[in-house]
Chains A and B, each alone.
Chain A
Amino acid sequence: GRDGGAAQPGLSARSQPPRSCEDYRWEWKHCRGLRHAFHHYYTHGELPACDRWRDDYEACRAWERGRAAAAQEALCKSERARVMEKQKYPPVWTLRKSPPPDWYMPLDQDKSN
C-alpha cells in the first residue's frame, strides 16, 4: 500500500476504500447465496467461506464513518492479501510491453464488408 505523506501516525494518504462499501456488501451477500454456494462447490469441491467479505464490509463502514486507522489498515491488508493470492504462481509466459505489431495490419485478401 502507499503510505506516503501521512499527516498522523497510523493514518495513510488513501482517500477512500479500495472498493465502495456497497460493493463489499454485495460480495458478502452474493457469497452467502445458494447459487454461489453451488457454483463454488462445483468449481472447488467445497463450500465458500464468506466471513472475510463481512469483515471487509464492516471495516469499510468504519472507514467511512470515522476514518478509523485500524479499520483502514485491516481492510487494505485484506485486499493486499487477495492480490498476493492471485500472484502465488509463477507466470507461464512473459507479458508484452506493447501490443503485437501486426494486430491492425490489413489482411492479404480484400475484405468487401
Chain B
Amino acid sequence: MEQGEAASPPAARDKLGGREGEEEDDFGYRLFPDRNKKQQSFLVRSLFTFHNKCQLMLRMTLDTNPYAQLLLEAMKQSGCTVFNDRHFSCENCDGCVSGGFDSATSQIVLCQNNIRQQSHMNRVVTHELIHAFDHCRAHVDWFKNVKHLACSEIRAANLSGDCTLMNEIARFKFGLKGHHQTCVRDRAIRSILAVRKVSKETAEKAVDEVFDACFNDLEPFGRIPHSKTDAKRAYRDFQNRDRYNANL
C-alpha cells in the first residue's frame, strides 16, 4: 500500500502475536483498517457526512482539476481507464494519513476523516493518481523493490503540488533556494518509512540512488506544474503530443 501524505512520523510497529525475532511487514495496511473489512451497507455509509463530503469533493476534483484531468487522460491512453466506483474508495483511516494507492486491488483510497478541504482533496487525488499511472505504465514492484517505491514517491511529491512553498510553510519547514528538492526527498523518505518495514538508512539510500532519474521523470506532465495554469498547459501539450512527435 503506497501512502499519500502523513503529517506525523509513522507509529511504532507492533510485533505480531508471539513470533520470535521476526516482524512481518504489513506494507502499510494498518493505516487503512477498512481495507479488508466487509463494506457497510449503503444506508449506514450515507448517514456519515464524511463519506458524502468525500464523494462530492472527489467528484469536483475529477471534473474540474486540470492535474487530475491530465492524469486521467494519460491513464486512459495507456489502457487504464479510471472509473470512480471501481478505482476510488472513501474510507476512514488511522492517524494523519490522507490517502493511498492499493496496487493489490488497483484502488485509490481517500481518507474521508482526514481530508477536509477541496484543495487538499485535489492534491491527494493527484498524488495517488501518479502512483496509479506508474502502476499502469510500468512494472513497478511495489512490495519488494524499495527503489521502485522510492521512485514513485519522488515523482508524486514532485508533481502533485505537495511541496509548494505555502504547503511547506504550513508544515513549519522553511527554505527557498532549491527547497522544492529538499521537500521532495524528505517526503519520499517519510512515505517509504510509513509503509515499509525498512530502516531510515535504507529508505534514504534508495531515494538518493534514484533521485536524479525520478525527479526528472515528469511524465505525463512534461514539466513540474506549479499552478493550475501550468497543469492546463501540460494538458494541452499532452493533447498535441502526436503533432510534436511527428514533426521532430
Contacts and interface: CB of A to CB of B under 8 A. Distances in A.
Given A26-B233, A93-B140, A107-B105, A86 B218 contact: yes
A95 B138 contact: yes
Interface residues of A, number: 47
Contacts of A43: 178, 180-181, 224, 226
Contacts, number: 115
A65 interface: no
B137 A96 contact: yes
A29 B165 CA distance: 23
B110 interface: no
B42 interface: yes
Nearest to A90: B213
B136 A103 contact: yes
B243 A18 contact: yes
A41 B237 CA distance: 24
Nearest to A93: B138
B147 interface: yes
Contacts of B177: 41-42, 45
Which label, helix, strand, loop or mixed, suits the secondary structure of the A interface?
loop
Contacts of A86: 216, 218
B119 to A, nearest CB: 18
Interface string A29-53: 0100001100101111100000000
A108 to B, nearest CB: 8
B106 interface: yes
B150 to A, nearest CB: 8
A12 B177 CA distance: 43
Contacts of B151: 92-93
A111 B106 contact: no
A63 to B, nearest CB: 10
Interface string A58-97: 0000000000000000001001100100101111111110
